[in-house]
Structure 1
Amino acid sequence: MAEIAMRIVHIELGKHLYGGAKQVTFIMRGLRDDFGVENVLLATRGSAIAKEMQSQGFEVIEIPAGGDLDIGLIWRIKKVIQSVQPDLVHIHSRRGADVFGGLAAKLAKVPAVISRRVDNPESRWVTKWKYGLYQKVITISDGIREVLLSQGLSKLHVITVRSALADDATSSCHAQKFQQRFNLTENAFVIGVVAQLIERKGHKYLLQILPELLKTHPNIKVIFFGQGKYRQELEMEIERLKLQDTVQFAGFVQDMPALFGCLDLVVHPALMEGLGVSLLQASQQGVPIVASAVGGIPEAVEHEVNGLLVPAEDIEALKKEVSRMLSDEQLRERFGQNAQQLMRDKFSVQKMVEGNYRVYQTVLSSSEM
């Protein structure tokens, strides 16, 4: 398909620069550098991504954004679209953008696509109506795509373009600094959980198996990286299970990619997950993983290749596989080596950028609007 000159408005209303927002930075840079696309970012006023993309020389327009109930977003977004006059609008986030952004693009008579990053199902009529606003829906995993197809969207309407990581993001672990920072002994076996502190990430299932695991592996230390409203409940569970000396909260850390290489194992017992960027980051640093086989996780963690998969909420299976990882250093090393190759083969930034660009080409060369 021949290349088409493009001017794209990207809408990302998240306030922080991780997860989906980080993916937007990769996409915009790749589109500019590899395909000569002119990109404009529409972001929440004062957001981290707005500051980051301004520093990289992109045109950034900031607006107030109050989330899913801020109906005024329709008119603010429409005004920006009409001012910029793009060929296409790409909506990357929720927080009101998934509905109000689609309506604004429709009112401005500009074709739009949306990235879908979560696998939680919605009602069929909501799915049909909301995604009917868009010429294409881009899912970051086949797992999410299957959810949307099961809710009645057509195969031609939904396209998978997997998330990616910066190709140069590998880094070495500074073991001594890491141990000092998190008050760890040299022989500690460090398990990391890198996820928002919300119930569906499944932190409690790891807590429930720790007392048994500590009987045979007393050197386990667990670090929860992330922040969220579920922290108080987790702290109560840690106290109930007497795990205060085993588990610590690190909060959200800016240098997380550099810390993955210091972890011995990543555990992610989530109840649902679109793909799991933290799992990609762990694999890129060669860290083995035990995770739930839900959503898009089996695309990021291939069973017996770069990690082990267990059924969600299955405590016995989780205990068995974490114990296996604890006891088998050669298995961990093999998974770590496989993980880095898997990332190069399936989750490169170049592939993600090309995938999004091809979707744009398809939309702009058709008469779907």
Structure 2
Amino acid sequence: MERIKVVEIIADADLGGGPSHVFGLLKSLDQKKFEPFLICPEGQLSNKVSQIKGVTIFHVPFKSKFDIVSLFELQNYLTKIKSSHDPFGPMVVHSHGTRAGLFTSKVAPQSAFRIYTEHRWDADYHLKNPMTEFWQKFMLRRVLRRMNRVIAVSSSVQSFLINNDLATKEQAIIIPNAIELQTPNSKPRAIKAANRAPVIGTIGNLNPQKGQIYLIEAMEEILKKFPLATLEIVGEGELKESLKFKVESLKLERHITLLGRQKNVEKFFKKWDVFVLPSVAETFGIVVLEAMNAGVPIVATRVGGIPDIIENRKNGLLIPSRDSKQLAKAVIELLDHPALAAKLKRGGIERVENFDWQKVIKEIEKVYTVPFDLE
């Protein structure tokens, strides 16, 4: 059977949510059926993908939405891919994010099946400048009108796209993010019950959407019950200095540590008693899957795509966003009730199996093959 050429296009060079998704997709894709390509800026993503045998990588900087040089480079690469062996064969062009979608919508071959995945926008996500937000949504609407299929990573993203007339019901489908599951032998051992010096952890970019400020405030209440408790915050971002100032103003330097960006987050999951995701906006929350997979009980806010993953009191605790008191109450409940924590850990390990790349990739591959009747 002829292989379908699949071109993944993304304008991000780091290993955040969207790029991490693209890496997992390319690593899991069945190369007996698909010939994979990646077009992205030089950086962490392309370096990591270069380790996957069989993936051809082209670099385009995508410096801004007005980058004419990048537009022509993308067009040349897509033409080159299309005109290589079997130029009349099936081809999928799959863009991730508004900027990549904007470029792709202008120069993708007409015969290619065009797919777009939205990783960021839902009803909770907003930009600082309302006019910038308006124009981004306006551009996204134009982009999606030129796509054959739109993938939303959660129900909140799908609802946002449909309710704002950015995509049609027929066009937008839900395929969640995924992770590569640990083998059972690599799961961490259960944490001892009645830990009087618990370690609480969170991971995320230090920006307003991630809500770390509320977790820092919650530590005041948590320390009344567990005076030896500590909080570790993993991540970098624009709020680093203001969060550091908040910690100092509350005189919590002995209890809260900002660890910056870390390459190996697995080692932190293994020592944390509770993982907290205090986001005020979160289209999916792949880090929740990672915490579940590591066997850490979770407290997370009921925003965006989080309720797609967590069922309250079955595999995690859901709380309102922007509420430090409720956050503290939930963390204290888990630390005070080891049996509940153990129940949520078991539920999380069971739940995360639904988000294994080996399962999710089959849904994506079906989207790639259906238009060509090659299932």
TM-score normalised per structure 2 = 0.86
Residue 137 of structure 2 is aligned to residue 140 of structure 1: no
Contact kept, 8 Å, 1:197 with 1:226, in 2: the verdict is yes
Distance in 2 separating the partners of 1:241 and 1:91? 44
Q: Which runs of 5+ in 2 are unaligned?
A: 83-89, 124-132
- Does the CA contact (< 8 Å) of 1:162 and 1:347 recur in 2? yes
The answer on 1:151 being equivalent to 2:153 is no
Q: Indicate whether 1:347 and 2:362 are aligned.
A: no
1:96-147 CA distance string (max 9 Å, x none) = 21212222216x6533111111234565644432211211111111121111
Question: Is the 2:244–2:258 contact (alpha carbons within 8 Å) kept by the matching residues of 1?
Answer: no
The answer for the alignment partner of 2:311 in structure 1 is 302
Quote the residue 2:126 is aligned against. none
Q: Who is 2:49 aligned against?
A: 53
Equivalent position of 2:178 in the other structure: 164
Partner of 1:183: none
112, 115, 131: which one pairs with 1:113?
115
Which runs of 5 or more residues in structure 1 are unaligned?
176-185
- Preserved contact between residue 73 and residue 101 of structure 1 (Cα < 8 Å): no
Report deviation, 1:23: 1.9
Aligned counterpart, 1:362: 370
Q: How many residues are treated as equivalent by the alignment?
A: 349
Distance 1:75 1:160 in 2: 32
Paired residue for 1:19?
17
SS at match of 2:200: strand
1:241 and 2:239 aligned: no
Contact 1:173 1:258 in 2 (8 A): no
Label 1:188 to 1:299 Cα distance change in 2 as closer, same or farther (>3 A). Answer: same
Q: Distance in 2 between matches of 1:78 and 1:161?
A: 28
Shift, 1:174, TM fit: 9.2
CA apart distance, 1:281: 0.1
Q: Normalized against structure 1, the TM-score is what?
A: 0.88
Q: Deviations for 1:139-175, whole angstroms, at most 9, x for unmatched residues?
A: 1111211111111222110011111111236635599
Aligned match of 1:131: 144
- Partners of 1:20 and 1:311 in 2: how far apart? 25
For 1:180, the equivalent position in structure 2 comes to: none
Shift of 1:63: 2.3
Distance (Å, rounded) in 1 between the aligned partners of 2:68 and 2:340: 52
Q: CA deviation at 1:362?
A: 3.1
Equivalent pair of 1:23/1:164 in contact (CA under 8 Å)? yes
* Alignment partner, residue 287 of structure 1: 296
Question: 1:227–1:36: structure 2 CA closer, same or farther, 3 Å change rule?
Answer: same
Aligned to 2:85: none
Structure 1 residue 293: Cα displacement: 0.5
CA contact (8 A) 1:174 1:262 kept: no
Q: What is aligned with 2:127? A: none
Instruction: Give the letter aligned to residue 89 of structure 1.
Output: V
Contact 1:136 1:363 in 2 (8 A): no
Match of 2:80? 83
The superposition leaves residues 75-95 of structure 1 with CA deviations (integer Å, 9 ceiling, x where unpaired) of: 22111101111711111244x
Q: Match for 1:225 among 230, 234, 237?
A: 234
- CA 1:25/1:278 → structure 2, altered by over 3 Å: closer, same or farther? same
Instruction: Judge conservation of contact 2:24–2:357 (CA < 8 Å) in 1.
Output: yes
Q: Secondary structure at the match of 2:50?
A: helix
Q: SS in structure 1 opposite 2:116?
A: strand
User: Counterparts of 1:190-205 in structure 2 under 5 Å?
Assistant: 190-205=199-214
Q: 1:266 to 1:68 in 2, by over 3 A?
A: farther
User: 1:43 and 2:40 equivalent?
Assistant: yes
| Identity score, percent | 25
C-alpha RMSD of the superposition = 2.3
- Give the structure 1 partner of residue 129 of structure 2: none
Decide which moves more: 64-73 or 242-251. 64-73
Residue 270 (1) aligns with residue 279 (2): yes
The separation in 2 between residues aligned to 1:68 and 1:115, in whole angstroms, is 18
Are residue 100 (structure 1) and residue 103 (structure 2) matched?
Answer: yes
Contact persistence 1:127–1:148 (CA under 8 A): no
Deviation at 1:243, TM superposition (A): 0.9
CA distance in 2 between counterparts of 1:209 and 1:167 reads 31
- Conservation of the 8 A alpha-carbon contact between 1:71 and 1:100: no
Report the CA distance between 1:313 and its aligned residue. 1.2
Tell me, what secondary structure is at the counterpart of 2:270?
Answer: helix
Q: 2:156 and 2:49 mapped to 1: Cα distance?
A: 30
CA shift, 1:66, in A, is: 1.1
